[in-house]
């Protein structure tokens, strides 16, 4: 019996990987691309009224690093984010179940500027915060499909699933708290409005972003 060649084996391996990792899409079905700006919009569920994601102080005694929270009202989009692979991958779109970094995209950042805008898991509190590092395990996230609605996803980490105890994002293994999101492309004027709003609220104490 003829043994399969090394080339055939590699092709099979690559095809298997392609089947396991599917492309992440916007709410309209368009592929989510590496480095582009997107609003990550929480989907309304029984335990979550929606509201976009923003950096905000979560501790009265210590404002930095900022935590990640939801805005007060469902129609607020929050601040755009971008996605990049944690490893070098020759692919211009984001696939599910692949390690990525998430970063807020804002040109105006008047406080806590010594911290990066990369998302991370706080080891001590399990909160999702900014200040992550590109190669750090606590800054690695994965996007995974969920069946709540079409083009909906959840975020996972090696610590657990990203959920919310409104308004704070945190790692949880409680499925009822899972944060379900959709992605919507952010245009330059959207980002400008968001960063202007960010500047104003941060100067007022970073409690919560005003209406956007």
CATH number at residue 51: 2.80.10.50
CA distance 124 to 93: 33
Q: What percent of the chain has pLDDT over 70?
A: 78
For the chain, how many structural domains are there in total?
Answer: 1
State pLDDT tens for residues 175-194: 999 999 999 999 876 645 55
- Please work out, in degrees rounded to the nearest 5, the angle formed at the alpha carbon of residue 136 by the alpha carbons of 131 and 138: 70
Does residue 21 lie in a domain region? no
Cα(22)–Cα(88) distance, rounded to whole angstroms? Answer: 18
Q: Is residue 160 part of a domain?
A: yes
Would residue 44 count as lying in a domain?
yes
pLDDT band at 4 (very low <50, low <70, confident <90, very high): low
Residues 6 or more apart from 107 whose CB is under 8 A from it? 191, 195
Work out the percent of the chain whose per-residue pLDDT is above 90: 62
pLDDT at 155 over 90: yes
pTM of the model: 0.81
On whether residue 132 sits in a domain, the answer given is yes
Residue 11 lies in a domain: no
> Which residue range forms the structural domain that includes residue 143?
36-185
């Amino acid at each position: 019996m003829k043994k399969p060649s090394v080339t055939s084996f590699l092709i099979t391996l690559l095809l298997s990987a392609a089947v396991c990792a599917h492309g992440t899409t916007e709410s309209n079905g368009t592929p989510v691309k590496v480095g582009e700006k997107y609003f990550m919009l929480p989907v309304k569920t029984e335990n979550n009224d929606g509201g976009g994601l923003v950096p905000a102080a979560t501790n009265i005694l210590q404002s930095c690093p900022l935590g990640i929270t939801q805005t007060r009202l469902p129609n607020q989009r929050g601040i755009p984010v971008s996605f990049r692979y944690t490893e070098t991958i020759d692919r211009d779109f984001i696939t599910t179940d692949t390690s990525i970094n998430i970063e807020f995209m804002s040109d105006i950042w008047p406080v806590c500027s010594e911290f990066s805008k990369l998302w991370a898991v706080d080891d001590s509190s399990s909160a999702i915060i900014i200040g992550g590092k590109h190669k750090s395990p606590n800054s690695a996230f994965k996007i995974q499909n969920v069946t709540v609605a079409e083009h909906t996803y959840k975020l996972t980490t090696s610590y657990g699933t990203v959920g919310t105890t409104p308004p704070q994002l945190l790692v949880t293994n409680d499925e009822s708290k899972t944060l379900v999101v959709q992605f919507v492309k952010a245009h330059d004027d959207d980002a400008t409005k968001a960063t202007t709003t960010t500047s104003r609220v941060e100067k007022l104490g970073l409690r919560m972003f005003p209406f956007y």
